[in-house]
Homo-oligomer: A and B are copies of this chain.
Amino acid sequence: MKWKRSERLVDMTHYLLEHPHQLIPLTYFAELYNSAKSSISEDLAIVKGTFEERGIGELVTVPGASGGVKYIPTVSDDEVRETIQILISELSKSDRLLPGGYLFMTDLLGNPELMNRVGKVFASIFKDQQIDAIMTVATKGISIAHSIARHLNVPVVVVRRDSKVTEGSTVSINYVSGSSRRIQTMVLSKRSMKSGQRVLITDDFMKVGGTMNGMKNLLEEFDCTLGGIAVLVEAEHAGETLVDDYYSLVKLHSVNEKERTIQLSEGNYFSKERL
């Protein structure tokens, strides 16, 4: 069967979107569509142009015999601003205020379209860096971690608070929770992570950074290195933050439980210097 260009474009777009950060040899498409490589190159030029024009992502062509094409998800600054605005407008709703000044955000973390956006934003920041895995701590950061992972095509590693029989042998560390100053435990299955990896850690919320710092220490136990830190919401607080090189989308300044108001602003996404 001979494919028409229009059909090839639709199928190719789907295939590329489903395989981010993977080098696809031109011969793969040429054989699949029974078309000349020159036609495939012309197709890819159209896809590339449209992806760039519409802010879908980059299409990188690697020349040579072992070359091919790679789709790199990216987001435009406008899309990041829109995502941040959605988050701020959602999070400032006064009925999110919980006793103790906490903010209810579980529904946002369960919203697949919003999480898809958030994951693409963070994946876009780290697109040119070597990231081998995404690490988070159960439970709330898992949806963010998976969305980043999907856009970077790397596995997710979930740290737990307790060890479970289905995890096999584990490595456990103690760390000091930043805000409550309590000693807590973090557990990771030995089989979950190979040594020598460069790992991006993520969570939904960060105040002093105790949990993030705990994950950093856990990375060392696995002979892995920190590739970056991505936080959905960081909270302002007195004193020093335990980690400094992080990206956040939203910053929580203060809550007033009596007036039921929540002060939020843009996180450091646009103000932080890029590596």
Contacts and interface: CB of A to CB of B under 8 A. Distances in A.
A245 interface: no
A273 interface: no
6 tightest Cβ-Cβ pairs between the two chains A and B: A110-B156, A10-B50, A112-B150, A13-B13, A138-B139, A112-B149
Interface of A: 5-7, 9-11, 13-14, 17-18, 46-47, 49-51, 53-54, 56, 98-100, 102-107, 110-113, 115-116, 138-140, 142-143, 146-147, 149-150, 153-158, 160, 165-168, 189, 191-192, 205
A46 B5 CA distance: 11
Nearest to A47: B10
Contacts of A113: 153
Contacts of A168: 98, 104
B157 A110 contact: yes
Contact of A102 (B6, B115, B147, B165): B165
Nearest to A152: B112
A59 to B, nearest CB: 10
A165 B112 contact: no
Nearest to A50: B10
Contacts of A50: 6-7, 10-11
Given A17-B17, A100-B165, 8 more contacts: A9-B13, A10-B13, A11-B54, A98-B165, A105-B166, A106-B166, A112-B154, A142-B146
B7 A189 contact: no
Contacts of A147: 146
A80 to B, nearest CB: 16
Nearest to A142: B142
25 contacts: A5-B6, A6-B9, A6-B46, A7-B50, A7-B53, A9-B13, A10-B10, A14-B17, A14-B56, A17-B17, A99-B165, A103-B166, A104-B166, A104-B189, A106-B158, A106-B189, A107-B191, A107-B192, A110-B149, A110-B157, A112-B153, A112-B154, A113-B153, A138-B138, A142-B142
